[in-house]
Amino acid sequence: MPKFPSVEWFDQASTLLNKSDSFKRLGTTDCEMGVQVDDKIYEIDFEAFEVKKAREVDARRAEELDFVLVQPLERWKAMLEDIKKHGRATHEFTLNSLDLNTADEFARGKDYHRRDAFYRFNQTFQDYFDNAAKIETTFS
């Protein structure tokens, strides 16, 4: 059982997305996305019709990414548990809802044009996280 957050967890979500029909339905995705959980930051690279890699990065590298999804472990855990329970994110736990309903920005990036990838490829990213329904996850 992979622990969230970890490279192993993000790799499993990547493998599941790569094996799904998501890219076939939604098209290509070219984006370097970050996921920040408390003080840990992970990079997930989407290239054309696949997720290429996931790795832990430092804050300096995170500034170079298209955007970083930021929330504390408690909120990530609530989102992933909602996905596990319902098979996909519901109501306030979709990426769009998290972005719209938080006082701080959920999708953060210094360059608005690059951050726009969050909105452009949002359904692919949602499919990526919805794979949590198929991952037996533990939390740190």
Residue 29 in domain: yes
Which CATH number does the domain housing residue 65 bear?
3.30.1050.10
Please tell me the predicted confidence (pLDDT) of residue 80. 98
Q: Please report, for residues 8, 45, 54, 68, 69, the alpha-carbon distance to residue 110 in angstroms, rounded to integers and kept in the order given.
A: 28, 18, 21, 10, 13
Question: How many structural domains comprise the chain?
Answer: 1
> What does each of the 140 residues of the chain score in pLDDT, given as a tens digit?
899 999 999 999 999 999 999 999 999 999 999 999 999 999 999 999 999 999 999 999 999 999 999 999 999 999 999 999 999 999 999 999 999 988 888 999 999 999 999 999 999 999 999 999 999 999 97
Please tell me the predicted confidence (pLDDT) of residue 36. 98
Residue 112 in domain: yes
Please tell me the predicted confidence (pLDDT) of residue 140. 77
Please tell me the predicted confidence (pLDDT) of residue 17. 97
Which range marks the domain in which residue 42 is found? 3-133
Please tell me the predicted confidence (pLDDT) of residue 78. 97
CB neighbour list of residue 115: distance below 8 Å, 6 or more residues apart:
66, 67, 107, 108, 109
Residue 35 in domain: yes
